[in-house]
Structure 1
Amino acid sequence: MRAIKYLSPSLRVLAAAIAFCGIPSCSYAQTSIPWTVTYSNALEDNGPLTSDFDNFNQQTLRQLFRTNIGGTAVRVELSNLFGSQPFVVADVHVAIGILNADGSPSSSTVPGTDHTLTFSGASTVTIPAGQSVLSDGVAFNLPANAEVMTSIYFPQGIPAGIDLAFNNDGRGPLLFLAHGDVSADTSISPYFQSTNPFILTSIQVQNAQSLGTVVAFGASITAGDQATYDHGWVLDLAQRLSAAGLPVGLANKGISGNGVIGGAGPQAGDRFMRDVLQVPNAKAVIFSDDIINSLGGPNPPTFDAIIATVTPLIQQAHAKGLKFWCSTLTPNGGRPATDWTPAAEAVREQVNAFYLNPANGCDAIIDQAKATQDPAMPLRYFPAFDFGDHLHPNDAGHVAIANAVNLGLFTPTGVPPITPPSTCGKFLSGEGMIHDQPLFSCNGQNELYFQGDSNLILYNNNTEVFSTRTEGHNPGVATLLADGNFVVTDAAGKILFSTNTAGGAAGGQALVVEDDGNLNLYSNAAGTGTPIWSSNTGASAKAPRKLLTY
């Protein structure tokens, strides 16, 4: 038997609270609160089951999913999108799952957390061919970034030969099959396990503070292929949002191999309605890596053909009131010449230039290319971020992509959230100041001060030695972003000043007000070595000043 992780005291309290809420008076959701997606996948056609599984007849399908936003009630969506006949499911349960000691999924659940889900009050439901069904909501105090186990019993099995909905998630194992109805059991004895989820397409929560759902739309990089379990840039972004206190649901609609022209599964334009516009409480979409798969092979489409597929998606999103956030395309240098041609690279660079042009129609840019490229060889991944196939990022590369997302996009004002500095004379990633707040060097002789007119000034013994020259605006924040840029924003989140040092490979991790009167930005949290940006106002100045004002 595999060892399981020790349950923390907080998880014990959670288990007790959920067990208490198992009484009938707790088994309902509040209809006045919108539902927000906390887990989702993009459906693909798996084809029919093989004979090895006896069509799931009188078997329990148990699946473990990592959620993002927490909530006070839960419901699930089950799909028969590609089926030609209906099928019956029964005794559907949801509970808190358990990871093994090595961090991989187990098939067990936390005692006392199990809840039965119903469908219009019934424990059994028939899912019509080509359709999906939503369960009733059940009161469930689900924490953010939790492991949630769902169990589905098939009393009659799946009709032979029908196509099943699944997602090629590529990580796990996260699916477990066991004989009999064991949905309510804490521990089961699975006879089969796999990495790809079936039938369940979303888990949704009610959260009174929810800012809505943001859809991550893309291909294998978005889906998290080649990332280890509980990693991938969407999950890493969820961790950042949670740490910043931003209750946002993330719906991962990545399909491995998917494209805007060609590719695996339905093309981007054919699934955009279902996977973006119909997602509950959707507020924005991050359009990620589908284009990369369309450019692969010996005869890639032209730039004009690619953009002709993207522009209608921007228009459709805007027509539904959704923001459309464009992501630049990650490097592909080093892939086999048969997979990535000079013509493909030329189009990739054209697409990235188009995205970085303010007239593109995008509401924001997430610069995945800059976050992951090697500064010395921008056509390739930074080696520490490359999974090894020169196409996919590894876990560190996924973190770099997540860090490239400005959290100000998720706030009502557009200003990124900040925390106060944790030590004298230094801002670490995510730390910053609002107006009329100072940051002193450790010897107290130098002061970085953010004025009420948005100008940031460095004083040495009360003498001004450096200024961002950003006066004349309503102030927002001065902060070191997770992507490595130190910025000054106005009250609407517009960047007025930037050190122009973004990039996961060499971005800033510590801004230091030095004792000698210099302001230095370093690529390490210790604030040591050669700075990557400097105000050049003190004896320790070692780097050229790189100013970028807007």
Structure 2
Amino acid sequence: MRTGHTGRRSGVAVLTAATLVVLAATGAAGTATAAAPDGRPATAAATAHGNGGGQWRGAWAASPHGAGETFVPNWSREGFANHTLRQVVRVTTGGTRARVELSNRYGTTPLRIAGATVARSDQGAAVRAGSVRQLSFGHGRSVTIPAGGTVHSDALTFRTRPLEKLTVTLYLAEPTGPATYHWDAGSTSYRASGDHRSDAGGEAFIEQSGAWYFLSGVEVSGGPGPRRKSVVAFGDSITDGFGSTPGADNRYPDELAERLVAAGRTRGVLNHGIGGNQLTNDLSFAGEKGVNRFKKDVLTEPDVGTVIVLEGINDIGMSEWADLPGGPTPDVPVERLIAGHRELIRQARARGIKVIGATLPPYKGAMYYTERGEAKRDALNKWIRTSGEYDAVVDLDRALADPADPDRLAPAYDVGDHLHPNDAGYRAMAEAVDLDEL
């Protein structure tokens, strides 16, 4: 569990609300006003879609949600003013051109980005010397994103390799107000006072956080080899990777991307999980319900071929949890969970996207486990396995179960809270996916 703004957490998750499971998705594209070099506003189309340059595909993503203290301190409520924000991500596929996506989806006022850069990551907040490139928006260095909006930078000639780490730096000169963010980055973000967007060194970045702010995607185009459609992993904290080693990129979507690269079948693998997210209920600390955010996160991604859905354990568990801040969430019958899954299937198929259902892993011994909840999990898993409504099934329940007690996570896969996998468990999840089904 992370403490303070350090982005560090202990090897074993504490049994608190911070261990909630989550599902999420990325934001819907909006319009923006960019400052052109002569001071005139750039067109919304130029800002939202860059300079063209071939078929864009997702290389990295994180689902945004609204500002708040999600059990661990972060900068989202206070926002930023005369700060430089440096964030490190690992792309899952490569190309010859790149652009970034910035989100103000949950902002209540326009967000001004005074400048932004992308570079190849080095240690900590440092970047590789000579790799810093200025980003533009509608051919201007700054951009204003309206409340509720999303913007893409212009296309930049910038060669990326699969599994390479990039650093995106934003200079926020004016007060931003509360920030659209993603609370569990599993990575360290850095903040400095003043304008340090072009610094190669990290000395000015003396503050740290374990969240991502405003940054919701990196897309690429071009490059050698056949173009393969992206895979989206959609879900809650188990998809988001809670309990994996911070900074090590050991979440199950990370491990799946590594399998694809090793097999010579590289494609974008996009993580749209949000810790604590539910399929059927909105939560102030864990984003919009999955049936709503799916269209904003998954269906706005370019060139998606397959989505893997792992959703529902929080709907079950939080309705049984008296100690949940604010009290238990509404009870969700199995029939409503199935209806929610059917809605995701409908939305995906309407866009020609293959949809794979993942069974819910065991959770006996978790802070919100009950026998009634276990009966719901069993019923939902039976429907996912046997209904034939998903195009394919990945049986994470059986892949992670303890042979001595199938209702529990195997000890070798348990981070310690009996709900979230550890690094080995996330690896086992990725290995349970049939690459041919993608």
Structure 1-normalised TM-score? 0.64
Mapped contact 2:74–2:209 kept (Cα < 8 A): no
Residue 166 (structure 1) aligned with residue 184 (structure 2):
no
Q: Indicate the SS of the match to 2:115.
A: strand
> How do 1:232-247 residues align onto structure 2 when only pairs under 5 Å count?
232-247=251-266
Q: Which residue of 1 aligns with 2:192?
A: 178
Query: In structure 2, how many angstroms separate the alpha carbons of the residues matched to 1:292 and 1:52?
Result: 27
Query: In structure 2, how many angstroms separate the alpha carbons of the residues matched to 1:57 and 1:31?
Result: 32
What amino acid does structure 2 have at the position aligned with 1:398? Y
| Cα gap change, 1:317 to 1:400, in 2 (>3 Å) | same
Q: Which residue of 1 aligns with 2:115?
A: 91
Q: Which residue of 2 aligns with 1:124?
A: 142
From the two aligned structures, give the one with the greater strand fraction: 1
Task: State which of 27, 36, 43 in structure 1 corresponds to 2:57.
Answer: 36
Residue 281 (structure 1) aligned with residue 303 (structure 2):
yes
Query: 1:128 Cα shift?
Result: 1.0
Query: 1:210 Cα shift?
Result: 2.7
Q: Indicate the SS of the match to 1:325.
A: strand
Q: Which residue of 2 aligns with 1:257?
A: 276
What amino acid does structure 2 have at the position aligned with 1:40? A
Q: Which residue of 2 aligns with 1:187?
A: 201
Query: In structure 1, how many angstroms separate the alpha carbons of the residues matched to 2:308 and 2:256?
Result: 12
Q: Which residue of 1 aligns with 2:393?
A: 365
Query: In structure 2, how many angstroms separate the alpha carbons of the residues matched to 1:249 and 1:52?
Result: 28
Query: 1:32 Cα shift?
Result: 4.8
Higher CA-based Rg: 1
Task: State which of 345, 356, 365 in structure 1 corresponds to 2:374.
Answer: 345
Mapped contact 1:41–1:252 kept (Cα < 8 A): yes
Query: In structure 2, how many angstroms separate the alpha carbons of the residues matched to 1:322 and 1:50?
Result: 35
Residue 211 (structure 1) aligned with residue 203 (structure 2):
no
Mapped contact 1:210–1:249 kept (Cα < 8 A): no
What amino acid does structure 2 have at the position aligned with 1:206? S
1:175-200 Cα offsets, whole Å, 9 max, x none, are 11111211111113213100100001
Q: Which residue of 2 aligns with 1:156?
A: 174
> How do 1:104-119 residues align onto structure 2 when only pairs under 5 Å count?
106-119=124-137
Task: State which of 342, 354, 373 in structure 1 corresponds to 2:383.
Answer: 354
Query: In structure 2, how many angstroms separate the alpha carbons of the residues matched to 1:249 and 1:165?
Result: 24
> Please, which runs of 5 or more residues in structure 1 have no aligned partner?
1-28, 100-105, 411-550
Query: 1:55 Cα shift?
Result: 4.8
Mapped contact 2:68–2:76 kept (Cα < 8 A): no
| Cα gap change, 1:395 to 1:54, in 2 (>3 Å) | closer
Mapped contact 2:414–2:421 kept (Cα < 8 A): yes
Query: In structure 2, how many angstroms separate the alpha carbons of the residues matched to 1:346 and 1:51?
Result: 39
The runs of at least 4 aligned residues of structure 1 exceeding 6 Å deviation read: 48-54
| Cα gap change, 1:165 to 1:376, in 2 (>3 Å) | same
Task: State which of 98, 105, 110 in structure 2 corresponds to 1:74.
Answer: 98
Query: 1:270 Cα shift?
Result: 1.3
| Cα gap change, 1:55 to 1:356, in 2 (>3 Å) | closer
> How do 1:390-429 residues align onto structure 2 when only pairs under 5 Å count?
390-410=418-438
> Please, which runs of 5 or more residues in structure 2 have no aligned partner?
1-49, 321-329
| Cα gap change, 1:55 to 1:167, in 2 (>3 Å) | closer
Query: In structure 2, how many angstroms separate the alpha carbons of the residues matched to 1:93 and 1:255?
Result: 26
What amino acid does structure 2 have at the position aligned with 1:34? Q
Query: In structure 2, how many angstroms separate the alpha carbons of the residues matched to 1:203 and 1:373?
Result: 35
Q: Indicate the SS of the match to 1:384.
A: helix
Q: Indicate the SS of the match to 1:301.
A: coil
Query: 1:133 Cα shift?
Result: 0.8
Query: In structure 2, how many angstroms separate the alpha carbons of the residues matched to 1:170 and 1:370?
Result: 28
Say how many residue pairs are matched.
368
Mapped contact 2:68–2:77 kept (Cα < 8 A): no
1:91-128 Cα offsets, whole Å, 9 max, x none, are 210011124xxxxxx00001121111100111011111
Query: In structure 1, how many angstroms separate the alpha carbons of the residues matched to 2:185 and 2:51?
Result: 35
Q: Indicate the SS of the match to 1:98.
A: coil
Q: Indicate the SS of the match to 1:277.
A: coil
What amino acid does structure 2 have at the position aligned with 1:384? A
Query: In structure 1, how many angstroms separate the alpha carbons of the residues matched to 2:120 and 2:316?
Result: 41
Task: State which of 304, 307, 328 in structure 1 corresponds to 2:335.
Answer: 304
Query: In structure 2, how many angstroms separate the alpha carbons of the residues matched to 1:334 and 1:344?
Result: 12
Q: Aligned residues: percent identity?
A: 35
Out of 196-205 and 340-349, give the one that drifted further: 340-349
Query: In structure 1, how many angstroms separate the alpha carbons of the residues matched to 2:75 and 2:382?
Result: 50
Query: 1:64 Cα shift?
Result: 0.6
Q: Indicate the SS of the match to 1:356.
A: helix
Mapped contact 1:210–1:247 kept (Cα < 8 A): no
Mapped contact 1:387–1:393 kept (Cα < 8 A): yes
Q: Indicate the SS of the match to 1:193.
A: strand
> How do 1:214-229 residues align onto structure 2 when only pairs under 5 Å count?
214-228=231-245, 229=247
Q: Indicate the SS of the match to 1:108.
A: coil
| Cα gap change, 1:35 to 1:367, in 2 (>3 Å) | same
Query: 1:54 Cα shift?
Result: 7.6
> How do 1:459-538 residues align onto structure 2 when only pairs under 5 Å count?
none
Mapped contact 1:332–1:379 kept (Cα < 8 A): yes
Mapped contact 1:92–1:183 kept (Cα < 8 A): yes
Mapped contact 2:231–2:268 kept (Cα < 8 A): yes
Query: In structure 2, how many angstroms separate the alpha carbons of the residues matched to 1:196 and 1:254?
Result: 14
1:362-400 Cα offsets, whole Å, 9 max, x none, are 011111111111122111111110001000000000000
What amino acid does structure 2 have at the position aligned with 1:273? K
Query: 1:69 Cα shift?
Result: 0.7
